[in-house]
Amino acid sequence: MKKSVIIRISVTGQLDKCEYPLEMGNWVELRAKRDEHLRGSRLVWESARTAISDCCESFRANFSGFAQVVNTPQNGNRILITVRFTYFPNYPRQISVEFTENQNKISVTVDGGSAKTFEIDADEKHAFISYQNREIDANEFTKIALEKPLFEPPKPPSRTSSPSHTQWS
């Protein structure tokens, strides 16, 4: 077990030396562990892909009367989800979920609009998806990324304007 020495100065000015176990290592070792976990960001992506597939399957089983959902892996780093709402079949929604390994991020785009970005981060224990500076699991990722586009049909374009893209926060 590694030990670290701390020297404290008491209120009376006396030097006080104590030893305590440093369980995780010093900051360099902690950084090395974090970097090692971050190199495994693909495993986090695989977990997210599985959660997306499970989410789409559950949607089909529970909300088939509301919309048809088809999730299609495009390659190992991208999934395209098409949502065709029962009452708006001429306006299918396109959701793109893309993993960029060299940037450790997952981007979600709805109907070609602006992307919502989820970082893949790590600490000394594991790698994880991060959103708004907090750790989230794969299930919460799918809820944040997919709930609104799965349950809110796009607005049909007006006759005088071009189709608008969905904006979401």
Place of tokens 């904006």: 167
- Residue 91: the pLDDT is 86
Print the domain residue range for 87. Answer: 35-151
- Residue at 69 is within a domain: yes
The C-alpha atoms of residue 152 and residue 159 are separated, in whole angstroms, by 21
The answer to whether residue 81 sits within a structural domain is: yes
- The burial class, CB within 10 Å (0-12 / 13-18 / 19+), for 1 is exposed
145: in domain: yes
79 token code pair: 């999934």
Residue 167 lies in a domain: no
SS (H, E, C) 135-166: EECHHHHHHHHHHHHHHCCCCCCCCCCCCCCC
CB 124 within 8 A of CB 111: no
Q: What is the pLDDT of residue 11?
A: 52
pLDDT tens-digit series, residues 53-100: 999 999 999 999 999 999 999 989 999 999 999 988 788 999 999 999
Q: How many domains does the chain have?
A: 1
Residue 39 covered by a domain: yes
Q: Is residue 58 a part of any domain in this protein?
A: yes
Is 21 a residue whose pLDDT tops 50? no
101, part of any domain: yes
pTM beyond 0.85: the answer is no
- Give pLDDT, residue 163: 52
pLDDT at 5 over 70: no
